[in-house]
Amino acid sequence: MRNHYDTILLDLGGVLIDVDYHATAKAFRDLGHLDFERLYSKARQDHLFDGFETGALSPAQFRDRIRTLLDPSLTDTVIDTNWNAMLGSIPQERIQMIHRLKERYRVLLLSNTNAIHVPAFEAIIAHGNGIPDFKALFHGAYYSCEIGLRKPDPGSFLHVLDRHEAAPSRTLFIDDSIQHVIGARQAGLHAEHLELAREDVLGLAQRLALL
């Protein structure tokens, strides 16, 4: 297994950083917006979140759309705070895992994320893990809102690998979303679905003898 791969490509949310998507819905419900889930589904249908994650929408445009969906009186600060409520922390053992993987492989990161979440989770990691430059933890780290591509588009994976002259056939991708795993396989990568109900990324890495 170790000899087969020379590159490990990791997802961020759910794989490295803990994420609770229900926390954002609860934060809006606590403000009296009881139907946030329904509005969230509607927003997904009109590509609000896809557009925000690829950088097609600015934070200001995203906030204005949330105000249109929920409440015109919501301030930027309230929207950002509630939107970031889903973000958890990275257990230190996962940071240690990355360092260990880097001894054997090129380790890259590809995350579907947005311009409000990025400074929020980077601040969480700086404070909680003592890492002031999160991207520097990897040989290369890429956010969908910066590269204009998002998973599961096969082009997002190839964009990242091309930057490092990494071969898809020698790359292992790990993600907790099955649709992203499928997209990676379509791009020619090996891909493992991290089933969070069964194990975390450290357990998966150990089971695959990556460490």
176 belongs to a structural domain: yes
What is the pLDDT, as a whole number, of residue 22?
87
pLDDT at 1: 44
Distance CA 129, CA 131 (A): 5
Residue 21 identity: Y
pLDDT value at residue 159:
98
Name the region of 14 (left: φ>0; alpha: ψ -120 to 50; beta: rest).
Answer: left
Q: Give yes or no: residues 11 and 99 share one domain.
A: yes
Check whether residue 176 and residue 130 sit in a common domain: yes
Tens of pLDDT along 9-21? 999 999 999 999 8
Q: Are residues 122 and 178 in the same domain?
A: yes
Domain count of the fold of the chain? 2
Provide the residue range defining the domain that includes 144: 7-19+89-207
**pLDDT per residue as tens digits for the range 20-54:** 988 998 999 999 887 777 766 555 556 788 899 99
The rounded mean pLDDT for the chain is 93
Q: Are residues 15 and 118 in the same domain?
A: yes
Give residue-wise pLDDT tens across range 63-106. Answer: 999 998 888 999 999 999 999 999 999 999 999 999 999 999 99
Check whether residue 82 and residue 60 sit in a common domain.
yes
Q: Which residue, among 147, 167, 164, has the nearest Cα to 156 in the 3D structure?
A: 147
71, 86, 101: which is the final residue of a domain? 86
